[in-house]
Chains A and B, each alone.
Chain A
Amino acid sequence: MENIKVILRKNMRQYAMLVALIVIMILFQILTKGILLKPINVHRLILQNSYILILAIGMMFCILSGGNIDLSVGSIVALIGASSALFSITLGLPVILSIFLSLALGVLVGMWQGYWIAYVKIPSFIVTLAGMLVFRGINNLILKGETIALPSLYVTIASGSIPDFIGGKGSSLHMTTIVIGLICAIIYVVLQYRDRQNKLKYNFQVISFRGFVMQSAIMFTIINLFTIWLARANGLPYIIIILLVLILIYAFIANRTVVGRHIYAMGGNSKTAELSGVKTKKLLFMIYANMGLLAAIAGIVFSGRLNSASPIAGDGFELDAIAACFIGGASASGGIGTVPGAIIGGFIMGILNNGMSIMGINVFWQKIVKGLVLLMAVAFDVYSKSKAKSKISYKTEVGKNENVLSGN
Chain B
Amino acid sequence: MTINILEMKNITKEFPGVKALDDVNLQVKKGQIHALVGENGAGKSTLMKVLSGIYPVGTYSGEIIFDGELCQFKDIKESEGKGIVIIHQELALSPYLTVSENIFLGNERNKRGVINWYDTNVKAMALMKRVGLNIHHDALVKDIGVGHQQLVEIAKALAKDVRLLILDEPTAALNDEDSDSLLELLKELNEKQGITCIIISHKLNEVTKIADEITVIRDGATIETLIEGRDEITEDRIIKGMVGRELKDRYPKREPNIGDVAFEIKNWLVHDPLDEGRVRIKNISLNVRQGEIVGIAGLMGSGRTELAMSIFGRYYGKSIEGKMLKTGESLYVANVSQAIDEGLAYLTEDRKNAGLILSDDIRKNITLSKLGKISSNGVVNLNEEIQVAEEFCKKLRIKATDIYQSTGNLSGGNQQKVIIAKWLFSEPDLLILDEPTRGIDVGAKYEIYTIINQLASQGKSIIVISSELPELLGICDRIYIMNEGELVGELPKEEACQESIMRCIIQSTDRKKAASSMS
Residues of A within 8 A of B (CB): 6, 9-10, 198-199, 201-202, 204, 256-259, 261-262, 264-265, 268-269, 271-279, 331, 335-336, 392, 396, 399-400, 403-404, 407-408
Contacts and interface: CB of A to CB of B under 8 A. Distances in A.
B354 A265 contact: no
Contact of A274 (B16, B336, B422): B336
A9 B405 CA distance: 10
B14 to A, nearest CB: 5
A199 B383 contact: yes
A400 B59 contact: yes
The 4 lowest CB-CB distance pairs between A and B, nearest first, are: A277-B337, A268-B357, A276-B369, A271-B354
A256 B369 contact: no
Nearest to B386: A204
14 contacts: A10-B404, A202-B384, A258-B375, A264-B360, A265-B360, A269-B358, A275-B348, A275-B355, A276-B368, A277-B335, A277-B370, A335-B360, A392-B409, A408-B12
Interface string B342-383: 000010101001111111110010011111100100111011
Given A257-B380, A335-B360, A404-B61, A275 B346 contact: yes
Contacts of A392: 409
A400 B350 CA distance: 23
A209 B490 CA distance: 65
B402 interface: yes
B380 A6 contact: no
Contacts of B404: 6, 9-10
Given A258-B380, A265-B368, A400-B59, A407 B357 contact: no
Quick one: which of A275, A276, A335 has the most chain B CB within 10 A?
Answer: A276
Given A258-B378, A274-B315, A277-B369, A407 B19 contact: yes
A279 B341 CA distance: 14
A271 B378 CA distance: 23
A264 B378 contact: no
Interface residues of B, number: 49
A336 B359 contact: yes
A259 B378 contact: yes
A265 B368 CA distance: 8
A401 to B, nearest CB: 9
Nearest to A262: B371
A269 B406 CA distance: 14
Contacts of A399: 16
Nearest to A269: B357
B340 interface: yes
A6 B363 CA distance: 13
A281 B193 CA distance: 55
A386 B61 CA distance: 29
Interface in B372-419: 372, 375, 378-380, 382-384, 386-387, 402, 404, 409
Given A198-B383, A408-B61, A268 B14 contact: no
Nearest to B335: A279
Contacts of A262: 371
B60 interface: yes
Given A10-B361, A272-B354, A273-B357, 13 more contacts: A201-B383, A202-B386, A257-B375, A258-B379, A262-B371, A264-B364, A271-B350, A272-B355, A275-B315, A275-B354, A276-B340, A277-B336, A407-B19
A269 B407 CA distance: 12
Contacts of B368: 261, 265, 272-273, 276, 278
Nearest to B364: A261
B216 to A, nearest CB: 22
A350 to B, nearest CB: 29
Contacts of B12: 404, 407-408
Quick one: which of B15, B16, B359 has the most chain A CB within 10 A?
Answer: B359
Nearest to B339: A277
Contact of B353 (A204, A271, A277, A279): A271
Nearest to A405: B61
| SS of A interface (majority) | helix
Interface of B: 12, 14-16, 19, 22, 59-61, 312-313, 315, 335-337, 339-340, 346, 348, 350, 353-361, 364, 367-372, 375, 378-380, 382-384, 386-387, 402, 404, 409, 422
Nearest to A201: B383
Nearest to A268: B357
Nearest to B338: A277
Nearest to B375: A258
Given A258-B371, A268-B358, A404 B14 contact: yes
| SS of B interface (majority) | mixed
A202 B372 CA distance: 20
B465 to A, nearest CB: 15
Contacts of B360: 264-265, 268, 335
Contacts of A273: 357, 368
A204 B384 CA distance: 11
B359 A335 contact: yes
Given A396-B16, A404-B12, A261 B340 contact: no
Contacts of A10: 361, 404
Contacts of A271: 350, 353-354
Given A10-B404, A198-B383, A277-B337, A269 B353 contact: yes
A204 B404 CA distance: 14
A261 B371 CA distance: 9
A261 B383 contact: no
B357 A257 contact: no
Nearest to B337: A277
Contacts of B402: 6
B376 to A, nearest CB: 10
A95 B456 CA distance: 66
A394 to B, nearest CB: 13
A274 B369 CA distance: 9
A408 B60 CA distance: 11
A403 B460 CA distance: 39
Contacts of B380: 256-258, 261
A126 to B, nearest CB: 20
Contacts of A6: 402, 404
A198 B382 CA distance: 11
A273 to B, nearest CB: 7
A265 B364 contact: yes
A268 B408 CA distance: 11
A119 to B, nearest CB: 15
A162 B19 CA distance: 71
Nearest to B312: A275
Contacts of A279: 335, 337
Contacts of B364: 261, 264-265
Contacts of B16: 396, 399-400
B61 A407 contact: yes
Contacts of A256: 379-380, 382
A217 to B, nearest CB: 25
Given A256-B382, A258-B375, A277 B357 contact: no
B312 to A, nearest CB: 8
Contacts of B379: 256-258
A272 B415 CA distance: 13
B375 A276 contact: no
Contacts of A261: 364, 367-368, 371, 380
A207 to B, nearest CB: 15
A159 B141 CA distance: 63
B283 to A, nearest CB: 26
Contacts of B354: 269, 271-272, 275
Quick one: which of B313, B360, B404 has the most chain A CB within 10 A?
Answer: B360
A271 B348 CA distance: 11
Contacts of A198: 383
